[in-house]
């Protein structure tokens, strides 16, 4: 979710916009996607040990899914455990939109009208500059805003254009990524996380109430016990969650042009390469100039980044999904190095072992 001011202490009600580590499986992934199953790949043993070591510093639960696109080698950590997607759920929304474009049901040039009910505080481009009722943007514009700067109002407009959570979730299942579940627009996710469990898709919250709920002065008033209660309830919510394996499968299929047309696949990846959030996550300690097509997500005790890393020297490309939940670290800045160091370990392993030798 895009940034909200964070209350203190511990900043664990972070943004909106451990039972430490069971075994890490490493395998050649089956044709259907990224999985914990399959024959062990002894070449990944050292990477497994390093990811386990790095994940210990998260002070929470870490999920990882890795898939080398040129060789099919894969590994997962908590691959079938569900994690809050936060704003990484904007990738499945984009896939549903582009699937409808490919089917001729929508056009990238279709205009979407901002309605009075859409105008809420999200600290994004639309909320800050363009969010007047009656304003119109194309679906292409909204996709860019949603994925490049994680604009929540753009996301909610596309969520509606995509047919809502049921349609998006059904599409994920049909595409072989059944571990991805999309339920709510961003305003509902944030409102529910902040304790307004009485509102949702069918019961909108008044814009004035919502803006008061996310106001910095209200967030600053929350006490430690209340923060912990809200985060615990949110962490247990099955809505808008994904498994690392399912998210990696979706990214693999986008890259390999299995689920969208060539034009739509290229557009989606191009936008993700130009993502402007999360510079300290997957990209954080990669060699300067490394290209990463990715999408971040942050809310409460969750920090995520999912994407495809370009490897140098003809080593190919690697899908890298890192989800963190229930982290007791001080704030997002403390969570991000966990993601960055895991991404660097994955990058370096496949650079030095591009063919599995």
pLDDT in tens, 95-114: 999 999 999 999 999 999 88
pLDDT digits (tens, 9 = 90+) for 169-220: 999 999 999 999 999 999 999 999 999 999 999 998 888 898 899 988 999 9
Q: Are 278 and 296 in contact (CB under 8 A)?
A: yes
What pLDDT, on a 0 to 100 scale, did the predictor assign at position 34? 58
Is 87 in contact with 296 (CB distance < 8 Å)?
yes
Q: Which residue has the tokens 């995509």?
A: 162
Token couple for 297:
């997500």
What is the mean predicted confidence (pLDDT) over 281-297? 98
Please give the pLDDT value at position 123: 57
Give residue-wise pLDDT tens across range 258-283.
Answer: 999 999 999 999 999 999 999 999 99
Q: In which band, very low, low, confident or very high, does the pLDDT at 151 lie, cut at 50, 70 and 90?
A: very high
The mean pLDDT of 340-355, rounded to a whole number, is: 96
User: Between the CA of residue 21 and those of 54, 61, 181, 235, what are the distances in Å?
Assistant: 11, 7, 23, 17
Kind and range of the H or E run holding 257: none
Domains of the chain and any CATH numbers: 24-86+245-352 (3.40.710.10), 88-235 (3.40.710.10)
Q: What is the pTM of this model?
A: 0.91
Percent of the chain scored above 70 by pLDDT? 84
Closest CA to 325 of 9, 8, 7, 20: 20
* Coarse DSSP helix, strand, coil percentages of the chain, rounded to the nearest 5 percent: 40, 15, 40
Strand, coil or helix: 152: helix
Which tens digit of pLDDT belongs to each residue from 234-252?
A: 999 999 999 999 999 999 9
State CA 277 to chain mean position distance.
11
Given this model, what pLDDT does residue 42 score?
Answer: 74
pLDDT tens digits, residue range 26-76? 444 444 455 543 345 677 988 988 999 999 999 999 999 999 999 999 999
């Amino acid at each position: 979710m895009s940034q909200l001011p964070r209350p203190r202490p511990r900043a664990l009600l972070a943004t909106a916009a451990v039972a430490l580590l069971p075994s890490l499986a490493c395998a050649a992934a089956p044709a259907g996607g990224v999985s914990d199953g399959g024959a062990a790949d002894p070449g990944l043993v050292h990477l497994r040990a390093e990811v386990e070591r790095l994940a210990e510093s998260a002070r929470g639960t870490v999920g990882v899914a890795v898939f080398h696109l040129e060789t099919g080698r894969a590994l997962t950590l908590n691959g079938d455990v569900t994690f809050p997607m936060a704003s990484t759920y904007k990738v499945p929304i984009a896939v549903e939109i582009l699937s409808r474009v490919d089917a001729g049901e929508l056009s990238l040039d279709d205009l979407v009208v901002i309605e009075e009910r859409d105008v809420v505080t999200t600290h994004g481009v639309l909320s800050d500059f363009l969010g007047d009722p009656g304003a119109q943007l194309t679906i292409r514009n909204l996709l860019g805003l949603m994925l490049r700067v994680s604009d929540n109002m753009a996301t909610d407009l596309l969520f509606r254009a995509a047919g809502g959570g049921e349609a998006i979730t059904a599409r994920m299942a049909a595409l072989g990524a059944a571990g991805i579940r999309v339920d709510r627009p961003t305003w509902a996710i944030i409102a529910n996380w902040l304790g307004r469990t009485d509102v949702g898709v069918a019961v909108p919250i008044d814009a004035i109430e919502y803006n008061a709920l996310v106001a910095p002065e209200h967030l600053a008033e929350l006490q430690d016990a209340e923060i912990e209660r809200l985060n615990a309830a949110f962490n247990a919510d099955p809505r808008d969650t994904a498994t690392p394996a399912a998210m990696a499968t979706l990214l693999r299929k986008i890259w390999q042009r299995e689920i969208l047309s060539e034009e739509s696949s290229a557009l989606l990846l191009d936008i993700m390469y130009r993502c402007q959030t999360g510079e300290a996550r997957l990209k954080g300690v990669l060699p300067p100039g490394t290209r990463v097509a990715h999408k971040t997500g942050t809310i409460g005790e969750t920090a995520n980044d999912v994407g495809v890393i370009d490897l140098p020297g003809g080593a190919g490309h690697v899908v890298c999904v890192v989800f963190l939940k229930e982290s007791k670290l001080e704030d997002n800045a403390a969570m991000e190095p966990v993601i960055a160091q895991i991404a660097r370990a994955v990058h370096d392993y496949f650079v030095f072992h591009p063919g599995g030798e």
